[in-house]
Amino acid sequence: MTRERMKRSVSVAIRCAQADGAERVVAVLRPDSPDDPLGGLWGLPAATARDGESEDEAAARVLRDKLGLRVPAEGLTRISEGRRDDGASSQSMTVYALDWDEDSPLPVSLPARSVDSESTVTLYEDWRWAAPDELREAARRGSLCTRLYLKWLGDALDSSLRSE
């Protein structure tokens, strides 16, 4: 069996600080599928970078193609990176943040479901603002992007508490 090359993936955490100081993040619902260990779970929007595409370009594409948001790559901030290697395949993940103003509506427009059964693109069933803790089940079930985001968020909170 030949080992596949590393899959380069990206994810974007669209974050909004509430007036009460609580953070909210855009969570997307993956389609429920018996072939997908993350099917039916709320997580972060993500995609695999295409050949010749930078991670920054892929992150902007995630927002455009999966959520209908046009945000230039320069408007995104890299917040975390990590890898997973299970012996048969490996994945690198870069997580970006997009800070959103609480008073601005988020014009998300989920694309229509693809009729192409051969498509490897995950289109989402729904989206909503969620507390970061609501992503823990996806992280527990193996979502690398939610693990990295929750770790980064915990580290950022710990750092801000130490500086007070």
What is the tens place of the pLDDT at every residue in 12-49?
999 998 888 889 999 999 999 888 899 999 999 999 99
Tokens for 121, please give them. Answer: 């693109």
d(CA 42, CA 26): 9
The overall pTM is greater than 0.75: yes
Domain boundaries, the chain: 7-103+121-163
pLDDT value at position 155?
77
Q: 40: left (phi > 0), else alpha (psi -120 to 50), else beta? A: left
**In the predicted structure, residue 71 carries a pLDDT above the cut 80:** yes
Contact 70, 30 (CB under 8 A): no
Tell me which of 74 and 123 has the higher pLDDT: 74
Summarize pLDDT for 144-157 with one digit per residue, the tens: 999 999 999 987 76
Hey, which CATH number is domain 7-103+121-163, 2.40.50.140, 3.40.50.360, 3.30.830.10, 3.90.79.10?
3.90.79.10
Q: What does the alpha-carbon distance between residue 22 and residue 135 come to, in Å, rounded to a whole number?
A: 15
Could you identify the residue written with the tokens 């989402």?
124
